[in-house]
Amino acid sequence: MPLKVRDVVKFMEDIAPVNLKESYDNVGLMVGDKDEEITSILVALDCTLDVIEEAKDKNCSLILTHHPLLFRKPSSITTETLIGKKIIQLIKNNINLYSSHTNLDSVKDGINDILVKILGFKSFKTIELAPNREYNDSISGIGRIVELEKYITLEELCCKIKEDLNISYVRYSGEESKVIKKIAIINGSGQDYFDKAKKAHVDCIITGDTSYHYVSDYSEEGMALIDAGHFGTEWPCMKFVAMELENRIKNMGFNNSVIMSNRIRDPYKLK
């Protein structure tokens, strides 16, 4: 019996239950047919036109992304819009698209937890627990707070993040010599949770996609901030998600490949 889209949907929703998504989010099968047979699966952060072309080239009939292609219902699907071009290309080439976003961020062993582990930290607490989690679930939610066993300076922490995430730069605010004892980690764009992190008395927040006024205000209040980029704080984690999906597929007796995209790129460039 061949692997079908519905099988991968089940695997992913076992890994990251849909009820854990944030209220504004849209997750699940974006484009496709649950009864379609799967060849190979391509894992990417975003469904770009390059990624769709890569799926075609690598004979992948399913793309798994972290960021949803569809946040809101489009008013039309035409080649006059970027989203329309993507949807039409997916359908024309018989490629299915599944996205697992804030539910994957939130869940135990999801993106939040993976990022904590990549950075070499162990015990943590959740910044904001998911409202729809199971009654005995004390982990699922957005953001993690880590208390360090061994203190570190802000400068040392910046260097550690660059090395652990294999990124060439971070943006940061605060004195390089500031001693960091307690850290908030929020993958992707975490500004909505800065106030909760502050109330938890953290010394530093690690996240991505920060904006000037947020950083300026929190810096004035003595909070150190490290912006390791939206791409930088999420893409390294997706390979662990891909490995977990591949293990589940193999444990069910299928031999379909799960391939990491090599065409997904951080849209920012540096000179």
Tell me the pLDDT tens digit for each residue of 165-186.
999 999 999 999 999 999 999 9
Helices (H), 166-199: 194-199
Confidence category of residue 253, pLDDT binned at 50, 70, 90: very high
Domains of the chain (ranges; CATH) run 5-104+234-260 (3.40.1390.30), 108-228 (3.40.1390.30)
Confidence category of residue 129, pLDDT binned at 50, 70, 90: very high
- What would the pLDDT profile of 52-99 be if each residue is shown by its tens digit? 999 999 999 999 999 999 988 888 899 999 999 999 999 999 999 999
- Tokens 């072309």 -> residue: 53
Please, what is the average pLDDT of the chain?
Answer: 96
Confidence category of residue 1, pLDDT binned at 50, 70, 90: confident
Note whether 39 and 256 are within 8 A (CB).
yes
Note whether 208 and 156 are within 8 A (CB).
no
Nearest to 222 by CA among 208, 206, 202: 202
Per-residue pLDDT averaged across 105-118, rounded? 97
Q: Which pLDDT belongs to residue 75?
A: 84
pTM of this structure: 0.95
b/e burial code for range 42-55 (CB count within 10 A of at least 16 → b): bbbbbbbeebbebb
Cα-based distances in Å from 269 to 31, 159, 169, 229, 263: 30, 20, 11, 12, 15
Give the chain's radius of gyration (CA, Å). 19
- Tokens 């798994």 -> residue: 64
Look at strands 179-189 and 224-227 and give their pairing. unpaired
Note whether 92 and 21 are within 8 A (CB).
no
Confidence category of residue 27, pLDDT binned at 50, 70, 90: very high
Percent of the chain topping pLDDT 90 = 94
- How far does CA 241 lie from the centroid of its chain? 10
| Non-local CB neighbours of 221 within 8 Å, separated by 6+ positions | 198
For 41, list phi and psi in degrees, rounded to 5.
-115, 130
